[in-house]
Chains A and B, each alone.
Chain A
Amino acid sequence: MNLSPAEKERYARQLGAGVLSEEGQLNLRRSTALVTRVGGMGGPAALMLTMAGVGRVIIAHGGDLISPDLNRQVLGSEAVIGQPRAPHFADYLRSMNRFVEVDYVDHEPSDSEALELVRKSNIVLSCPPTFAERLRLNRAATEAGIPLIDAAQWGMTGTMMVVRAGLTACLQCVYPQPPPFEEFFPVVGAISSAIGSLAALEAIKILSGTGHPLFGKMLTYDGFQGRATTMELTRAVDCPCCGNL
């Protein structure tokens, strides 16, 4: 089915040479993206995927919005403080694009829930605060055989890696043991949005079949020093997650 005139109008600025073909835009429309969580990085990522026209966006995030979230969680607002994040964030996303279906999960998915959600999706954007949850999503994406983009941040720095399990290093190849969790990590919202948006861009490229995704690489941006680097990642042959692929 072709793009409708209303869709062509909506996506006019991203259709054409150097951006998306009409087929690429249709590929986006046919796709489902899972974004968990949708705070500092996942929020902007989910917003960009919704605005770009990914057909279905599933977000997962538990808890209520608190005031300190609003230095970076762009899907929130003053009016939502003290209320559950997920339904409000989903409403905001829906308000941004009538052509996109938005679903939400209002808690951190368990192992089985993560796998179930991932199996409904074509790509996973992993943006949680803990490595335990990141590694869970990595295992689910590996088992389901779909790409995963892991976005992370601290202070004024961020990293993003793009995984195609079996072909590239997976998250567990890089982090065999979960690094320590720091609950009250410092972060400036501008780096969250930057890394989240870059994660969305990679997802858009992969889903639409456009450009050259950063498979097997980790992009790092050190905003404190003002430098960006790319690291070529190495698969671990004995990785318990993807070593048998």
Chain B
Amino acid sequence: MKIRVVTMGRHYHETEDLPEFLELQEQASLDQAIERLRQLLPPGVDFPGSCLIALSGKHVGSIDSHSAVPLSDGDELMLLAPVAGG
């Protein structure tokens, strides 16, 4: 299956080179998708534990704590590193 990847939020420039689309085996899990993305990050860069995860527009938790939702072909996986700033 193929999913779209969107990263944004704090330190967004560090994930700029991630691919827009990710090819995964059928029935791949959310954790497998995140692990694949982690392997593609530059050395020393990682998603923070508080990074929010949304699957096709629905919030499913954070890197540290999320539901084991199944992935489907065409899903959009958004990873949002929390921002504050005043």
Residues in chain A within 8 A of chain B (CB atoms): 37, 39-42, 127-131, 134, 152-155, 157-159, 169, 174-177, 179-182, 185, 187, 192, 218, 220, 222, 224-225, 227, 229-234
Contacts and interface: CB of A to CB of B under 8 A. Distances in A.
B65 A127 contact: no
A159 B12 CA distance: 13
Contacts of A37: 86
B19 interface: no
A155 B86 contact: no
A174 B58 contact: no
Given A174-B59, A230-B57, A231-B78, A40 B86 contact: yes
Q: Which of B6, B10, B48 has the most chain A CB atoms inside 10 A of its CB?
A: B10
B41 interface: no
Contact of A157 (B8, B50, B52, B54): B8
A55 to B, nearest CB: 25
B18 to A, nearest CB: 12
A159 B65 contact: no
Given A155-B12, A180-B48, A232 B85 contact: no
Contact of A159 (B11, B13, B80): B80
A227 B6 contact: yes
A154 B86 contact: no
A189 to B, nearest CB: 11
B86 A157 contact: no
Contacts of B82: 131, 152, 175, 179
B84 to A, nearest CB: 5
Contacts of A128: 84, 86
B54 A134 contact: no
A128 B86 CA distance: 5
Contacts of B61: 234
Contacts of B60: 234
B59 A187 contact: no
Nearest to A38: B86
Interface string B41-64: 000000010101010011111000
Which 5 pairs, one residue from A and one from B, show the smallest C-beta to C-beta distance? A129-B86, A154-B83, A153-B85, A179-B50, A179-B82
Nearest to B51: A179
A175 B86 CA distance: 17
B86 A232 contact: no
A185 B84 contact: yes
A134 B84 contact: yes
A230 B8 CA distance: 13
Contact of B86 (A41, A218, A234): A41
Contact of B58 (A181, A185, A225, A234): A234
B43 to A, nearest CB: 21
